[in-house]
Amino acid sequence: MEENELIPADDFCSYHQVSWAFITSLEDAGIIEIKRVEQQHFIQSEQLKELEKLVRLHTELEINSEGIAAIAHLLQRMNELHRELLTVRQKLQFYEH
């Protein structure tokens, strides 16, 4: 697994048929981080999951990068709330018993 830690951004873009501009716009929005090594661009493999999700939303629902940035923040917020809900439910259970 270690050898796959950095994914060449070109490979990623051509595989997914997304523009490099889309990737950089996500970087500008602070959603992903791009590594630059000797003028080459790389994506960290641990960010691939999130990135591929956003790429799917971009290509499949035709949402532009501004929209994707907003969605990414909302999804994150939703995740936090979901986790909080689970904790609160657990606490409530304690009082209902």
Q: In this chain, which of 36, 37, 38, 60 binds another protein, going by CB under 8 A?
A: 60
Q: Footprint of another protein on residues 6-45 (CB under 8 A)?
A: 7, 11-12, 15-16, 45
Closest distance of CB 69 from another protein, Å: 14
CB under 8 Å to 66, separation ≥6 — which residues? 25
Backbone φ and ψ for 64, nearest 5 degrees, come out as -75, 175
Return the closest-CA partner of residue 50 out of 70, 28, 75. 75
Q: In this chain, which of 61, 66, 77, 80 binds another protein, going by CB under 8 A?
A: 61
Q: In this chain, which of 10, 33, 52, 80 binds another protein, going by CB under 8 A?
A: 52
Closest distance of CB 39 from another protein, Å: 21
Report d(CA 31, CA 24) in Å as an integer: 10
